[in-house]
Copies of this chain bind each other. A is one copy, B any other.
């Protein structure tokens, strides 16, 4: 299990439309091979900055299979117009964890 963590900066004034686009795109992720969950975090201190966190079984499920899919094109069609800059993406694995997160 790995996490895609993408920092996304949104065009000013487009937060509501962006969030609606992500909500609409949830099924694209949830039906993708190896995708186990999606969270969109809204940053409290920085207006227009978000963290998209997607849990994948492997990095390849994201970078190879999802990125090559038509659902990725649809994802970008839904939310790409609201990007201020290109998202900055990393992948992580859990080193330590405790407690229940939703």
Contact = CB atoms under 8 A, between A and B. Distances in A.
Contact of A37 (B1, B59, B93, B99): B99
SS of A interface (majority): strand
A19 B95 contact: yes
Contact of A94 (B39, B59, B97): B39
Contacts of A36: 99-101
A73 interface: no
Contact of A38 (B26, B44, B90, B97): B97
Q: What 4 A-B pairs have minimum CB-CB distances, sorted nearest first?
A: A37-B99, A41-B92, A40-B96, A42-B95
Given A30-B98, A38-B98, A38-B99, 16 more contacts: A1-B102, A19-B95, A22-B95, A30-B99, A37-B97, A37-B99, A37-B101, A38-B97, A39-B97, A39-B101, A41-B93, A41-B95, A42-B94, A45-B90, A50-B95, A55-B99
